[in-house]
A and B are shown apart, each in its own frame.
Chain A
Amino acid sequence: MIRFTHASKRYPGGHDALTDVNFHMPPGQMAFLTGHSGAGKSTLLKLIALLERTSRGQVFVNGQNTAKVPRRRIPYFRREIGIIFQDHQLLFDRTVFDNVALPLIIAGYPHREIGRRVRAALDKVSLLGKEKVYPITLSGGEQQRVGIARAVVNKPALLLADEPTGNLDPALSREIMAIFTEFSQVGVTVLIASHDLALIESLPNRVLELKNGKLVADSGDDSEQVA
């Protein structure tokens, strides 16, 4: 599902955020991306979602070389990926329903289908009763779950989460992780950047560790690695 081959990212100004990263994630896998602040976790996720372009090497997503995706195709490319942020990026002038419906509206789904899918997504994150409220009235954990519902409403094959539990207490964090685990069990590939080591260690998933832009440890380094 995701394959990095000698991928490097140098930001304008000369800072090397990622250097020669190699790994492969098969479809349906759930993995954590960890490392100190500034290690390059967000950058790695951005390369996958084409929020940044690789400087050297290649990143393949679902068999597609991201370098070959032209600018005007990026929106369609991103519709196949659900992205979740620490600051959840919700629109506070719209209801929960409208926030979650946004990817479907963008993709041009018919009205009826939108209602059905939004309710299904809200159900998965246990927020079915909150569709008509505004996100500002929700707790941090609930807001994060709205963000997750929006990311999965389109049924993407790949979920990326950047510090999704950064602002949450351990119990809520565990809840969020349980939701991600459920998605991976139905075949969604999930990559979660997090420096919450206690939480990560309590879960059985593969862990990739970045240090100063280099991949220094990979608990799930299997035979799938690039030749």
Chain B
Amino acid sequence: MAKSARQSGDNALATGLHVWLLRHLQVFFYSLGQLSRHPFATLMTAAVIGIALALPAGLHVVLKNAQQVSGGWDGAAKISLFLKKTVDDRQARALQAQIRKLPEVGQVRYISRDHALEEFQRLSGFGDALDALEDNPLPSVLVIQPGLAASQPAQTRQLLEKLRNYPEVDIANLDMQWVKRLYAIMDIVRRGVLVLAVLLAMAVLLVVGNTIRLAIQNRRDEIVVMKLIGGTDAFIRRPFLYTGFWYGLFGGLIAFVLVSLSFSVLSGPIERLAGLYQQQFVLSGLDFDSALLLFAASILLGLGGSWLAVGRHLRDIEPA
């Protein structure tokens, strides 16, 4: 047993590292060569992994787009500032200009008391009854659409508190019921995607595990010989782990292509639809970070699956 240790001890550390790297590289490409001997079977396994991963990855992209769209609907959350009756028209307009300058604010619409009355008469049908009133009972109103910087519900609420503190403001109201609902729904969907992703990740783990298990069985004789002539567990394990790595990489590649293809098919019609709503909307596909995450996940799952199979089945094979 001292022979191999002596061997590497003789070499300089750099050479030892070099040999180590070389051996890993050899196995790395050897396992790729083994896979390429059965291209169809390899493709099938990789495709299963790819499809399983494309689903959560695609949904993730859909969610991100939905978020972007709902970001465009931040106008849905409106803050109404009812001003004190003592605030006259000029002061109200000054306040409007002041609020408009806040970075969190998108648009500010001013409804004067007269205008409010007019509108109310028109919409309520109480026109004549209101004429009987001597005084205009309605306050002037500033209607504020939060800008992008305050599109999240919590940020909108902060803005509301800020606006409420202006001395001219009597009552500050936030109407965002349905935006809250939208966010709640999106939260559910996000969790759903997460659950789905976890389930499908487990499926990928099992698919890879099973494929590697079969590979181990097919190469039983070879493993026995390796063990007979002094192959360590790590040595015997290595090609199978690299095989898992390749499955993961190919699966990730297929998932990436599937998602990209699907979105390029969808982007035209969706942009047309957005155009019909006079909305500027560009469908975004997998961005760099998400693609990186996809590949990292698929490779890790490939390695993990083969690790499971190797851990369970390699020990069972002993020369006898």
Contact = CB atoms under 8 A, between A and B. Distances in A.
Contacts of A51: 228, 318-320
A91 B225 contact: yes
B225 A79 contact: no
B131 interface: no
6 contacts: A72-B232, A75-B235, A76-B230, A79-B3, A106-B226, A110-B7
Interface in A150-193: 150, 154
A109 B230 CA distance: 14
Interface residues of A, number: 27
Chain B at the A interface: mostly helix, strand, loop or mixed?
Answer: helix
Contacts of B230: 75-79, 103, 106-107
Given A102-B229, A109-B4, 8 more contacts: A51-B228, A75-B233, A79-B1, A89-B221, A91-B222, A106-B226, A107-B4, A107-B7
A107 B8 CA distance: 10
B240 to A, nearest CB: 16
Given A51-B319, A51-B320, A107-B230, A77 B1 contact: yes
Interface in B7-64: 7-8, 11, 19, 22-23
A80 interface: yes
Interface string A51-87: 1100000000000000000001101111110010000
A108 B229 contact: no
B19 A79 contact: no
Contacts, number: 73
The 3 nearest A-B residue pairs measured at CB: A76-B1, A79-B230, A78-B230
Band of interface residues on B: 20 to 34
B224 interface: yes
B238 to A, nearest CB: 11
A72 B3 contact: no
A49 B318 CA distance: 13
Given A76-B1, A79-B1, A102 B233 contact: no
Interface in B291-320: 318-320
A109 B11 CA distance: 11
Nearest to A113: B7
Contact of B228 (A89, A105, A107): A89
Contacts of B226: 102, 106
Contacts of A73: 1
Q: Name, among B228, B232, B318, the residue most crowded by chain A CB atoms within 10 Å (CB to CB).
A: B228
A85 to B, nearest CB: 8
A163 B11 CA distance: 39
B225 A108 contact: no
Contact of A89 (B1, B224, B320): B224
A108 B1 contact: no
Q: Name, among A75, A78, A79, the residue most crowded by chain B CB atoms within 10 Å (CB to CB).
A: A75
B73 to A, nearest CB: 62
Interface in B219-264: 221-222, 224-233, 235
Contacts of B4: 76, 79, 107-109
A59 B81 CA distance: 94
A143 B231 CA distance: 22
Contact of A106 (B1, B8, B19, B231): B231
